[in-house]
Amino acid sequence: MFEDTYKMIAAPTESLFKDKGSRFISLAYPVRSEDDAKNSIAEVKKKYHDATHHCFAYSIGHIGSPCTRLNDDGEPAGTAARPIYGQILSYDLKNILILVVRYFGGTKLGVSGLINAYKEAALEVLSAATIEVHKIKEIHRIEFDYSLMNPVMQILKVLP
């Protein structure tokens, strides 16, 4: 079976973390769809167009396997998005996007330094966020022939 409640942040939240001259601006957004997440990412990239990196992780959905995406945006693989996503999992949050915008400060942090910096940046924005518990109000069961899988999935993807 599944949990009948889930946690998500109440409103967009922002925080700032500094490490060896680099500035990490953390932004957390409640999102309900991949389009919401993509729109927020585009807005942040436009606003902070001069930043060195725009790393993110998001998780959308709360029953079964949620839709997750991670992006290191040029940082060494696994040093940015994975630590961000780790904080999402640690807080057990759903329907969330965390973006960390980095302005390079001139000193290389190394792999472990980057992991710690992105983890801390995500932790700080989540610590500043208001977390709400929501109750699942409706459950739907859909049965159809396997031959209709593609059309049914296309319809389900566009539902709010």
Would you call 126 exposed, middle or buried from its count of C-beta atoms within 10 A (0-12, 13-18, 19+)? buried
For 18-37, the pLDDT digits (tens) are: 999 999 999 999 999 999 99
Query: pLDDT digit string (tens) for 79-136?
Result: 999 999 999 999 999 999 999 999 998 888 999 999 999 999 999 999 999 999 988 7
Confidence of residue 3 (pLDDT cuts 50, 70, 90): low
Task: Output the average pLDDT for the chain.
Answer: 91
Question: Quick one: pLDDT at residue 64?
Answer: 64
Residue 122: both structure tokens together: 């995500």
pLDDT band at 63 (very low <50, low <70, confident <90, very high): low
Q: For the residues 151-155, what does the mean pLDDT come to?
A: 87
> Residue 65: pLDDT above 90?
no
Specify the pLDDT at position 137.
Answer: 74
What is the predicted pLDDT for the residue at 1? 45
Instruction: Give the H/E segment covering residue 13.
Output: strand 13-19
Q: What's the mean pLDDT in 41-57?
A: 96
Q: Is the CB of residue 87 less than 8 Å from the CB of residue 123?
A: yes
Q: What kind and span of H or E run contains 56?
A: strand 53-60
Q: With pLDDT > 70 as the criterion, what percentage of the chain qualifies?
A: 94
Q: What is the mean pLDDT of residues 46-63?
A: 92
CA dist 112 and 104 (Å) reads 16
All structural domains of the chain, each given as residue ranges with its CATH number in brackets, are 5-158 (3.30.230.30)
The DSSP code sequence of 97-154 is EEEEEEE--SS--HHHHHHHHHHHHHHHHHHHS-EEEEE----------GGGHHHHHH
User: Is it the case that residue 2 has pLDDT exceeding 60?
Assistant: no
Coil/strand/helix, residue 158: helix
